[in-house]
Amino acid sequence: MIAPRLQFHWLKAGHCSHPECVAMRGGRWQSVMFPALCGLIVHPVRGNILFDTGYSQHFLAATQAFPERLYRWTTPMTLAPEEVLTQQLAQLGIRAGDINYVVISHVHGDHIAGLRDFPNARLIISRAEYDSAASMSRLGGLMHGYLPALLPPDFADRLVFVEDAASLGLPAELAALGSGFDLFGDASLIAIPLPGHSRGQIGVSFKGDDDRRIFLVGDACWSMDALMGNQLPTWFASRIFSNVRQYQQTFTGLRQIAAIPGGAMLLPSHCQQSWAGFRNECRT
């Protein structure tokens, strides 16, 4: 059986700003933009699937009061009207109610801020990530970038756990990470554990309609420059991680995957270069 090829759009739903040296060892003091990227994946049978949601206005509501306001101060966010995800989907002819699934890479606020905008979506998450978030106190969650106010009220009723899907050995170009989960039972969309940044972070991989393998890696690395240059995050940025040693193992696996000539295209969630590069490639 040949796995269906999936259509893909790589979208930017806002950004935050940081001194580069806070996120990356050897980085500059200069403030740089970290885009909040998310994917629209279209499956021929399962329909419209989002990988994360980026920022939304809900982030401002959730960080209005203290102590949550500290989150907004630490990572000041900008969301231009044309970057609101529901607006971008409308431009593609897709209504919010037409999103059937949202894959949640992990529960940091800049990845789940738009969840409330997609009332019909089943929400795919790892059990490890869900359990980890559910066990956090208000302050503990905040320290790890998690804002429970961003979750829709019926969050628990709409969950689908990746661990309930069949386990799948990864194709050769991703084999450095072992195995994944076959989300739809047709090998089209594979969820791959990427622990360390958060306890249960997942990425997804699929073949696009040009037959190229794409791998959305969430926050397993900040940028392709950091990955290729073997530049791990700073001590300061690592404070929000669940496990620094696991992060390094995941990072090493990604470096092996990135080194394969003609292999998977890795797309980190905050990588400005790969966002611009992907869009330019799609235009030609």
What is the binding site for Zn ion (CB under 5 A)?
108, 219
User: Contact 32/17 with Cβ under 8 angstroms?
Assistant: yes
Q: Rounded to the nearest whole angstrom, what is the least distance from the CB of residue 196 to Zn ion in the complex? A: 11
Q: Which residue, among 44, 116, 45, 54, has the nearest Cα to 85 in the 3D structure? A: 54
Distance CA 196, CA 136 (A): 16
| Least distance from Zn ion to the Cβ atom of residue 51, Å | 13
**Token pair 């806070």: residue:** 22
Q: How would you label 161-188 residue by residue, b for 16+ Cβ within 10 Å and e otherwise?
A: bbeebeebebbeebebbeebbbbbeebb
What is the closest distance, in whole angstroms, from the C-beta atom of residue 128 to Zn ion in the complex?
Answer: 15
In the complex, the smallest distance separating the C-beta of residue 241 from Zn ion, rounded to whole angstroms, is 9
Nearer to Zn ion, 97 or 140 (CB): 140
Comparison of 116 and 144: residue with beta carbon closer to Zn ion: 144
- The DSSP 8-state label assigned to residue 208 in this structure reads B
Closest CA to 188 of 83, 47, 55, 282: 47
- Token pair 């969820």: residue: 191
Q: Which is nearer to Zn ion, 48 or 126 (CB)?
A: 126
Q: How many CA atoms lie within 13 Å of 20's alpha carbon, on the beta-carbon side?
A: 13
Q: Could you tell me if 220 and 266 are in contact, meaning their C-beta atoms sit under 8 angstroms apart?
A: no
Nearer Cβ to Zn ion (46/108): 108
Please tell me the total number of residues recorded for the chain in this structure: 284
Nearer to Zn ion, 108 or 207 (CB): 108
Count of CB atoms within 10 A of residue 276's CB? 12
Question: Least distance from C-beta 197 to Zn ion, angstroms?
Answer: 6
| CB 72 to Zn ion: min, Å | 16
Cβ closest to Zn ion, residue 58 vs residue 108: 108
- Nearest distance, CB of residue 243 and Zn ion, angstroms: 13
Q: Which one, 43 or 108, has the nearer CB to Zn ion?
A: 108
Give residue number: closest CB to Zn ion: 108
